[in-house]
Amino acid sequence: MSHPPTSQCLHPSICSSVSAHAKAAGYEQPTLKERIAAINHGSTSKFKSIIDTIPGSYEVNFPAPLVLPEDDLALDPDYPPQSFQEWLDEEDRNKITRAKRTVYIVAPPQIDDNVTPLRGWTRPQKSRSPAPLTAPSPEEIKDYIAAFYHGLPVKLLPSPALRFVPWETGPNPKKKTPSHVGLETPKECIGIRTRPCPDRTYSHQLNLDDLLDAAISILPKDAYALCMLVDHDLFEDDDDEFVCGRAYGGSRVAVVSSARYRPDLDTIHSVEREHAWPASHCQRYVQERCSSQKPPRKKASQTKQFSSRDDRLLKEIVHVSSLSPASAEEKAPPGLWLARMCRTVSHELGHCFGIDHCVYYACAMQGSASLAEDARQPAYLCPVDLGKVLCATGSAFQERERAIEAYCERPGKRGVPFFDALAAWCRGFTNAN
């Protein structure tokens, strides 16, 4: 058996409970009784046969959210939970129908020759990479989403493609830095606001709300949901430094930018690859992150482990990820950028399915307050949110897990800690049944 280099953190012990900072921040994980109640679908649910495909021992494998300093739940510890039943009873939730059941992924818009400066806007000004990186493939993202939401057709939006073009406004439409650019769709041209990037990581940014409006305008008739991918950095309002994406869940659209997920920007954003998920559950790392925070006035009591928790699978995937060759390399593996986009696109589309941010467990549907927290969060869905997805898609547990495992074992995915760990996680359940 191969072993990681001695210079690496060996993650000797694992943290499956909330961090010591959680209590100081005011967050308490729902009790086991409350979590079981949140998972419960009710004996009369028409989805009972689907939910019953989830193994009865599934819940005990799931760690709590870490809740490290400046994490989303540390900043908003009272965020309301959404149980399975609350999701099921939500009147505003969009239902999947025979006529509307396809999930669409939209490739980044092309750039017209008349707005060539926009090509430079996709290149970071603070990159630490000596060589250009290959952007994540929309086709690969589409295939991941097809596995994640197994049971629904997932397609790339067919041509004609979207295209950025000049937006003729004001007395000087040919000025070097336009306040708007046009996004040409098959039916219309939509104005997209621009601005200089406040932190100068990129030259300029595009407005997220305008892009979401464009996504709504191109939503096909047979679409259940649509996610538009963009290469440009984004902003939502004047107070934002940047945003990575957003979903208008009720409108069934999302927009996700790849700009800030570039591995060559990790140092700028304090993203630590060695303790990215699943190694974010390394006990030593969690303690170090908590000790770096100014102690609260009232000393927090030591967080206790739940006696019902089974850490064996978590320990296994942490071990598997540490054996990935890429985990020991300073150079980012080619699949790392793709992995980050896959996780975020699956999260934003989750909102289109009516799923709110998760407060029960470490989960792909957790809220995130930073890129560093993004990297610490898992790719899997917790038992509460998995039930929602299985009911929405009509897929069975084993079928979905095998589809994700098969994707993670494709050429180009093996050796990437994220995909190796996710495959091992799925395998832990498919091999047990």
Give the Cα separation of 247 and 245 in Å (integer). Answer: 7
pTM beyond 0.85: the answer is: yes
212-221, 307-316, 330-339: range with highest mean pLDDT: 212-221
Alpha carbon distances (Å) from 118 to 123, 180, 189: 9, 11, 17
Q: What is the per-residue pLDDT for 303?
A: 40
| CA distance linking residue 141 with residue 126, whole number of Å | 26
CB-based contacts of 44, cutoff 8 Å, min separation 6? none
Q: What's the pLDDT score for residue 46?
A: 63
In the sheet that holds 102-106, the strands lie side by side as 154-156, 102-106, 223-230, 253-257, 245-248
Q: What angle do CA 379, 383, 386 make, to 5 degrees?
A: 65
What is the reported pLDDT for 333?
Answer: 67
pLDDT band (50, 70, 90) for residue 209: very high
Q: Pairing state of beta strands 253-257 and 245-248?
A: antiparallel
Q: Can you list the positions of beta strands (E) in 122-237?
A: 154-156, 163-166, 180-184, 189-196, 204-207, 223-230, 233-235
CATH number of the domain located at residue range(s) 22-291+307-431 in this protein: 3.40.390.10
Sign of CA dihedral 384, 387, 391, 393: positive
In angstroms, rounded to a whole number, what is the distance separating the alpha carbons of residues 71 and 212? 26
Dihedral over Cα of 189, 191, 195, 200: its sign? negative
How far is CA 349 from its chain centroid?
A: 9
At residue 256, what are phi and psi to the nearest 5 degrees? -130, 130
With CA atoms as reference, report the closest residue to 202 among 174, 233, 166, 226. 233
| Residue 119 DSSP SS3 | helix
Average of pLDDT values for 52-76? Answer: 88
Could you report the per-residue pLDDT of 339-386, keeping only the tens digit for each? 999 999 999 999 999 999 999 999 999 999 999 999 999 999 999 999
Cα distance between residue 180 and residue 297, in whole Å: 49
Give domain limits for the chain. Answer: 22-291+307-431
Helix or strand holding residue 320 (H, E): helix 312-323
Q: pLDDT of 233-291, one tens digit each?
A: 999 999 999 999 999 999 999 999 999 999 999 999 999 999 999 999 999 999 999 98
pLDDT at 57: 67
For residues 14-38, average pLDDT: 95
CB count in 10 Å sphere of residue 179? 12
- Max distance between CA atoms of the chain, in angstroms, equals 69
Q: How far apart are CA 121 and CA 205, in angstroms?
A: 7
- Per the prediction, the chain carries an average pLDDT of 89
| Structural tokens at position 399 | 């079928």
pLDDT value for 129: 66
Q: Hey, is 121 helix, strand or coil? A: coil
DSSP state of 157: P
Residue 289 in tokens: 């992150």
Residue-wise pLDDT for 279-302, tens only, equals 999 999 999 999 876 544 444 444
pLDDT at position 169, please?
A: 52
- In this predicted structure, the answer to whether residue 110 has a pLDDT above a threshold of 80 is yes
Which of 112-126, 303-317, 414-428 is predicted least confidently?
303-317
Around Cβ 372, how many Cβ atoms within 10 Å? 20
The CB-side HSE value for 265 (13 A sphere, CA atoms) comes to 21
